Structure 1
């Protein structure tokens, strides 16, 4: 620990201190993400659902019909990767394509009833697993976490776009 005084909780951190604190956050977020990803893969492997396919099914369940580029943007992954995941899901009859009135060359991806049942079963299992984690977290703590992570996602989206937008 350093003897550097901490700013009052409501004061924004100076850039150097912010960078140090965010490095602490990323040091936790990376391993957390990898552990969750590994757990999801292990739990769904027997059902033939990879983490990538699971993500596509979940986004379609949450947002409704989407194009492959929209799915890619929502996940911050390439359109090509999403297309492979969508093809895998289609081979299992979990998704289908439908014409897109807004863009003739980019069909909408839609969950099939089998896909909806699959993602609902997965999320039910995942919620049961999460409910067993040692908790003690309050709604306020979860809200703060979501707020901070959301701001970081937005901030990185802005830096990826560069000055002046996309």
Structure 2
């Protein structure tokens, strides 16, 4: 049997630490590796599922992300969209151009910055993203495991902390 903190034996079958006890850094590192090992395949499978809907709605995964952000946060610039999504400005610009070509967004002058236009979602874009999100919601409702609100909140908290660890990574390099 592996010792606690030794990466070979660290998993959900190890006896838990007392509630509220933070994990030692070495053990935390190994446990979060388990999370990364699950998040990667989950993300790729979810992207494939969203891409299957592209044939119906016509929006790629990248355009879907842009429309969702604009719907939730309001008008944004390409650099802002890029930072929020941790994607290169060039990629986000291509997604904005694609969305604009379909009439899902409009490009407006930015009074705060002449060189960085504001991107605004159109009514057609709002209708499209609502359709996409409804389809995704239907899929997410199928998740099993009798998950509790506390478990989902804990998951979101963990993922948010993991994401914060990489805030300094420049995606345009």
**Does TM, scored on the shorter chain, surpass 0.5?**
yes
Question: For 1:7 and 1:25, how far apart are their aligned partners in 2?
Answer: 18
Question: For 1:45 and 1:150, how far apart are their aligned partners in 2?
Answer: 32
1:90 maps onto 2:100 in alignment:
yes
Aligned pairs, how many?
A: 160
Higher helix proportion? 1
Structure 2 residue runs without a partner (length 5+):
5-14
Instruction: Note the alpha carbon deviations across 1:37-71, whole angstroms, 9 max, x for none.
Output: 11001122332211000000000000000000000
- Residue 75 of structure 1, CA deviation: 0.3
**What's the TM-score once normalised by structure 2's chain length?**
0.86
- Residue 135 of structure 1, CA deviation: 4.2
RMSD between aligned alpha carbons? 1.6
Question: For 1:136 and 1:7, how far apart are their aligned partners in 2?
Answer: 23
Question: For 1:58 and 1:32, how far apart are their aligned partners in 2?
Answer: 20
**What's the TM-score once normalised by structure 1's chain length?**
0.90
Query: In the alignment, what sits opposite 1:35?
Result: 45
Question: For 2:55 and 2:86, how far apart are their aligned partners in 1?
Answer: 23
- Residue 112 of structure 1, CA deviation: 0.8
**Which of 82, 86, 89 in structure 2 is aligned with 1:79?**
89
Structure 1 residue runs without a partner (length 5+):
162-166
- Residue 11 of structure 1, CA deviation: 2.7
